[in-house]
């Protein structure tokens, strides 16, 4: 049975969404993409434009037949986010947008009120909105109500590498929003974190810093690709439930016991 992730009419070749910022060089970024073959590449229009190399950066990504997911990183208001999304649609020729509206400078936690407002506006403008959000099931329900078919709760604050801070909340969201594409976004630090998210039944994992800032980014990209594949396979295979006591893997029936007798 095919296990292809599909968003709208787009079939993705992988469940890894790979960010493209902070790499030591464009060459290393390219090699990381080659070895991991992600299903989507995320890119910040604001960051690349500010660096004065937006078109050059886009030309690098064009060399890969991989869908691009622009984001509104660095936006703090609805107007900023909507304007950036419209620019991204024009530059990258896609109606996909990873919506970020930051509410706290320290944790980079998204502002739930502004996020919801911006999401509704962008859905009305014809965007497929991928909202970066906290693991709040109430907010998820509100985003669903305005037309978001993809939900992207954080594992931990962006770039923290802390992994899945609240597995209960993430599991609850997976159980409640069964028909949505759920992507763990932000805070992933190790391949084991990504595998754990996939073992919960999440559809994909989005990460950037854990690869870009690794000692060997290319090899780390490969490791994450393998971990996401392994986590998905484990979820589909049916992971056994944890028990409070041991359960022998070898039957004890007819097992010989040797007794030592004194002479």
Alpha helices for the chain (secondary structure H): 26-36, 45-50, 54-62, 78-92, 112-124, 137-145, 167-176, 191-199, 209-212, 217-237
Which of the 8 DSSP states describes residue 201? Answer: T
The angle that helices 137-145 and 167-176 make with each other, rounded to 10 degrees, is: 30
- 98 is an active site residue: yes
Q: How far is it, in rounded angstroms, from Cα 119 to Cα 98?
A: 10
Question: Longest Cα pair distance anywhere in the chain, in angstroms?
Answer: 93
Give me the phi and psi of 77, to 5 degrees please. Answer: -140, 160
Structure tokens at 192: 């084991």
Among the listed residues 62, 98, 213, 255, the single catalytic one is 98
Question: Per residue in 135-151, is it b (16+ CB within 10 Å) or e — as a string?
Answer: bebebbebbeebebbbb
Q: Are strands 40-44 and 16-19 parallel, antiparallel or unpaired?
A: parallel
- Which residues are designated catalytic? 98
């Amino acid at each position: 049975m095919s296990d292809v992730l599909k968003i709208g009419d787009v079939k993705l070749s992988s469940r890894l969404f790979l960010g493209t910022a902070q790499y030591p060089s464009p060459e290393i970024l390219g090699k990381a993409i080659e070895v991991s073959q992600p299903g989507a590449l995320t890119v910040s229009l604001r960051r690349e434009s500010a660096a004065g190399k937006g078109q050059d950066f886009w030309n690098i990504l064009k060399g890969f037949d991989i869908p691009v997911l622009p984001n509104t990183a660095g936006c703090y208001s609805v107007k900023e986010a909507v304007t950036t999304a419209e620019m991204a649609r024009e530059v990258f020729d896609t109606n996909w947008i990873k919506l970020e509206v930051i509410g706290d400078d320290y944790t980079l936690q998204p502002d739930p009120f502004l996020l919801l407002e911006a999401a509704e506006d962008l859905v009305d403008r014809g965007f497929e909105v991928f909202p970066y959000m906290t693991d709040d099931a109430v907010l998820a329900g509100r985003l669903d109500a305005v037309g978001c078919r993809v939900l992207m709760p954080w594992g931990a604050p962006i770039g923290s590498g802390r992994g899945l801070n609240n597995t209960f909340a993430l599991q609850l969201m997976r159980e409640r929003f069964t028909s949505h594409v759920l992507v763990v976004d932000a805070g992933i630090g190790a391949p084991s974190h990504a595998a754990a998210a996939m073992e919960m039944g999440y559809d994909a994992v989005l990460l950037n810093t854990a690869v870009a800032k690794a000692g060997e980014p290319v090899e780390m990209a490969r490791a994450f690709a393998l971990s996401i594949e392994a986590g998905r396979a484990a979820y589909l295979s049916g992971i056994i439930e944890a028990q409070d006591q041991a359960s022998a893997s070898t039957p004890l029936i007819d097992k010989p016991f040797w007794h030592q007798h004194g002479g």
